[in-house]
Structure 1
Amino acid sequence: MTSHRPFGLPVAALPAVAAVLLAVAGCSPTDATASVPVPSPAAEEAAYCRALHDALPRTLSGFDRSGAEPESDLTAAWGDGAIVLRCGVPRPEKMSDPQAQGVDVNGVGWMLEVQESGGPRFTTTYRKAYVEVTLDKRFAHDSGPLIGLADPVARTVPKSL
């Protein structure tokens, strides 16, 4: 009878390997903090961003809100950085491009930019503070998180027409 050893490990090592795998699997993705550059908006924009920060959902697209590093009322993250929000960012240069793509989600306009990482970045349009949402590659073809963010943005960041 032939005994197979996964990855060339001795059979005696299998319980230890299984324990390590279970410990890693038990770690919640919300335990991680996302490293997020903090914007530095004008005082009026920062006030809108603080109000938005307080109105943001605890869960978004199945991810719990996690820490953003450094902590700031201008940033938020969900999951292990799968969704990252920054409020008070400068107006993106791409907004001047007549070919820029956009989407309207529950009355909030968002400009779309595809990132090198494969995930999209959305920035609000026609608001008194620009809100940027970066999604990782899990959301390459999914703007679903914007649904959970549209109402808080609409309530806290006024339109600028």
Structure 2
Amino acid sequence: MPPVRRLGSTRSRGVVASAVLALAALVLAGCSSTITIDDQDLSGADRAACEALVADLPEKLAGQDRVDVEPDGALGAAWGDPAYVLTCGVPQPSDYEPTAECSVIAGIGWYVPDDQLTDQGEDATPIALSRTPYVQVLVPAERRTEGIDRALAELAPVLEDNLGEGLPCL
């Protein structure tokens, strides 16, 4: 039997194999754009309201297509890349004061923390406090100038249809 001829040293083949595996891992990681939405500790009535809301959410928001979220049955949704991310059932913000101002967009009162109002280069997390359970929408910094008002206005009808009255907006 003739000797088997190998190309390159064992070490160089190991380096190449490691590089190929690392590249494959990077490619697979880049393909994963699934958004994870944290589960909220809610009453049965609030969970049912959030489930109904999520089922009624649009397939497009501010011109962006809906994307997958994890886990299945999450109380939220996402659109685009970078994604608008809606989470239903969030707690009242710890820095909220009853005299705080909010922006009313299409009949829904949205509270945005002061530091997010002044820095347009940061992500914004408006919370619909005029509806309950509370809903938060993460708006990526890249979408703030062209899409925040449009996205929140497009969500208003589905929030009104599925959620109860919350805090009054000043």
TM-score scaled by length of structure 1: 0.72
Counterpart check, 1:103 vs 2:103: yes
Question: CA–CA distance in 2 between the matches of 1:153 and 1:69?
Answer: 22
User: Share of identical aligned residues, percent?
Assistant: 30
Displacement of 1:143: 2.6
Asked if residue 143 in structure 1 is aligned to residue 153 in structure 2, the reply is: no
> Match for residue 4 of structure 1?
none
1:133 aligns with: 137
Secondary structure in 1 matching 2:72? coil
User: Following TM superposition, by how much is the alpha carbon of 1:97 offset from its aligned partner in structure 2, in angstroms?
Assistant: 6.1
Higher-Rg structure is 2
1:6-45 equivalence runs, <5 A: 32-45=33-46
The match for 2:5 is: none
More strand by share: 1
Match of 1:21 in 2: none
Q: For the structure 1 residues 68 and 81, does the alpha-carbon distance in structure 2 shift closer, same or farther, using more than 3 Å as the test?
A: farther
Contact in 1 for aligned 2:132/2:164 (Cα 8 Å): yes
In the aligned structure 2, how far is the partner of 1:97 from the partner of 1:53?
28
**What displacement does 1:147 show?**
1.1
- Residue of structure 1 in register with 2:165 after alignment: 159
Cα deviation per residue 1:12-42 (whole Å; 9 max; x = unaligned)?
xxxxxxxxxxxx9xxxxx9721122222221
Deviations 1:96-144 (A, max 9, x none): 263x441111111110132987121110113220001011011233332
Measured in 2, the distance between the counterparts of 1:50 and 1:43 equals 10
Equivalent residues in 2 for 1:84-123 (5 A)?
84-96=85-97, 98=99, 100-113=100-113, 114=116, 118-123=122-127
CA distance in 2, matches of 1:61, 1:135: 11
Unaligned stretches of 5+ residues in structure 2? 1-26
Residue 132 of structure 1 aligns to a residue whose secondary structure is: strand
Distance 1:133 1:96, change over 3 A: same
CA distance in 1, matches of 2:166, 2:62: 28
Counterpart AA for 1:121: T
- Whether the 8 Å CA contact 1:33–1:80 is kept in 2: the answer is no
Aligned residues: 133
1:38 touches 1:72 (CA, 8 Å); kept in 2?
Answer: no
SS in structure 2 of the partner of residue 144 of structure 1: helix
Q: Please report the TM-score for the alignment, with normalisation by the length of structure 2.
A: 0.68
After superposition, give the CA deviation of every residue in 1:81-103 in whole Å (9 maximum; x if it has no partner): 520000011111122263x4411
